Chains A and B, each alone.
Chain A
Amino acid sequence: MSRSERNGDDVMRSLPSASEPQIDAALARVHARLQSDRGDGAVPPIESPISVASNWPLAVAAAMVIAAVGTAIVLRTADTPLFRVVEGDVYQGDTIRSNGGGGAVLTLADSSRIEMRSPSELSLERAADGVRIRLHSGGIIVNAAKQRAGHLYVRTKEMTVSVVGTVFLVNADDGGSRVAVIEGTVRVQQGATDTNLLPGDQVATRLAKAAAPITEEIAWSRNAAQHRALLRQSAATAFLGQPAAASADTRLTFQEISVRPAAPSSRGGRGTPFGGPAGPSCAGTDLQVDPSRFAVRNIPLYGLITLAYGKTCQPQVQHVGGPAWMRTDGYDIEAAIPPGSPGYTTRQLRDGMAPGLALMLQTMLADRFKLVLGRDMREMSVYHLVVVSPGRLKPSEDQNPPERAPGGPSVFTPRVGVVGPVLSLSSAPLSRLTGLLQSLADRPVIDRTGLTGLFDVMLNFPDLNGMSGVELEIGMRDQLSSRLEEQLGLTLEPARALVEVLVIERAERPTEN
């Protein structure tokens, strides 16, 4: 993204945004007014048949209570059900349909709770080790009770979800299916692929299904506010389970550190790959790591944060706040690594696989830059990198390449006989490709390929030959997904996910050596 675009984004951060309670209250008021405008307070009861066919002889009426309720908007003040089963039994295999104005809540014998959006259609059946909900259409939020033995399954025509105790949402319609997790873990089986989802994760079988945020998808629920709170809490807990930064007792430090403003001659860096405004590169230059020494030239503070906290160079979404100079002022850093420390390579540090060195960098940032940062989970648009044509992405012949010379791999390399910009990586893990795609796509890219090992990547944009600057940037962003698919058998699926961002609360220019 060019500097001018970043400025545009800064401007848009002032966009007025309503709070969730404010929205809930306004919707409730408007809904009530609309109802009163109908002018028919006494509405005759509507008899809505919900059973169309009985496929199983075994009645499970005793195992299920059906209480259909209205939307969250009209039902906030009371738990009194608006609908009840007034006649007859529900059998296994019967189709249960929520229609009319309200949704429906089904409670199973094991206390699992299924909230149905309206209109939705499902049936219940016995599975080999539990109960299976077949969602024919619409949306449900399942609050699955802990299964003592076995599983609760939800099946759409495209995927099967299995759980042992969690809260999740399933949508199914002609356009595809979608699963989103609010709490706990679910396993989604889609064809031969199994995926485990954590809170905030979602998978969809079509691109369009992944477009809306989870918070919007659950807005119809009478418990939408609780689900939202649960989602935040669960996602935060999942994050807190990761290794934390060093505490005062266990902090790892460099032996000697030199931090100097970059020499004027080296300032300005190489600019963006698109020929945009020059400035220190987030990655710095001449990064060197050996068992006794860490050194890098002309690196801005946010580049150091990127190395220390395993982030990618995308400050606009992964770093929030902080002074402007942390992106514009470059520094030359040299530090001695204490003897006996684990030995890492430049590559391992860039790939976020040098935890000891990362902790030393974190300590240095706290001591010399007085860096104070917090972490927050923010739901944002992401891309899932997925395989659509297996086998097109070729594993590298060399799965144990030697450490590269300083300078790292080239990104835009002119190749003989190739027309147009080329993005190339050799013997690189998928994490490097996702990082690169992320910088082009301007949003986090999450690797969902399930591929491991090192790969040779060459992505060519022949149509963009001769373009530069913003024109090239827009062109590449536009073509990224299609080129990935045709040349590497991968694609970027739009999705929403909770992403960890670092909130820069305080940073100071470094103290003298």
Chain B
Amino acid sequence: MSPVVAFKPAIAPLGEELEALFREHSRLVYRTAFSVTGSAQDAEDVLQTLFLQLLRHGLPSGLEKNPRGYLYRAAVNSALNSLKARRRRTAATDAAAREQPVLAPAQSDSSDPGAERQRQLVEAMATLKPRAVEMLILRYEHDYSDAAIARLLGTSRSVVAVTLFRTRARLKKLLQSSGETP
């Protein structure tokens, strides 16, 4: 005899596949976006935009093969775009402010060395290639080994090691040139 037992859902899921993707990878996407942008609001926007696209346009073909890698790369790219857009907005605001008398002192975190260092690091990351940022965040935010990074991004461990080494050196240089001594 094969008994019949049924589950009856009370809340609509997003769709089986999307729900599973959200459950398994949303944390990775959010944490990644937060580390790249340094902003909770931007990170939330990245996460929402990414899954909204999947919800509205369906799951792309490249996602099936390596969903974690796909979503991770999408998160980094989206976060970098968000970061660059924010820099453009800030630049435009600064230009507008220069044309008008300043009525109030600008808010700055420069009194907090930790926050200032973090801001400079985020700024510096915006100038890096997406591939380098992908590896950097996997190593330092998600604590992946070189081998694990290589597996997720579909490259070799030596490429990861060399890219990370060069990227760190570049970051150090960028931070030094912006007055930071690492």
Contacts and interface: CB of A to CB of B under 8 A. Distances in A.
Contacts, number: 228
A508 B24 CA distance: 47
B30 A470 contact: no
A104 B8 CA distance: 12
Nearest to B13: A101
A54 B139 CA distance: 47
A220 B26 CA distance: 10
Contacts of B128: none
Contact of B168 (A8, A100, A496): A8
B19 A101 contact: yes
A7 B7 contact: no
Given A50-B6, A219-B27, A478-B161, A380 B143 contact: yes
A219 B37 CA distance: 23
A443 B165 contact: no
B117 A14 contact: yes
Nearest to A74: B11
Contact of A31 (B6, B22, B34, B122): B22
Interface stretch (A32-40, A238-246, A285-293): A32-40
Interface string B11-45: 11111100110111011101100110110100110
Nearest to A20: B27
A70 B11 contact: yes
Interface residues of B, number: 68
Interface in A43-69: 43, 45-54, 66, 68
Contacts of A16: 34-35, 37-38, 118, 122
B44 A47 contact: no
A250 interface: no
Which residue, of A29, A49, A470, has the highest number of chain B Cβ atoms within 10 A? A49
B75 to A, nearest CB: 13
Contact of A23 (B11, B31, B147): B31
Contacts of B13: 70, 100-102
A12 B6 contact: no
B121 interface: yes
B9 A17 contact: no
Contact of B136 (A12, A98, A383, A470): A12
Contacts of B118: 14-16
Nearest to B39: A16
A38 B117 CA distance: 41
24 contacts: A8-B165, A8-B172, A12-B140, A16-B37, A16-B38, A18-B34, A23-B30, A27-B47, A31-B22, A34-B51, A34-B55, A50-B5, A51-B5, A82-B9, A83-B10, A85-B5, A87-B4, A91-B3, A94-B5, A100-B9, A101-B9, A102-B13, A494-B147, A496-B143
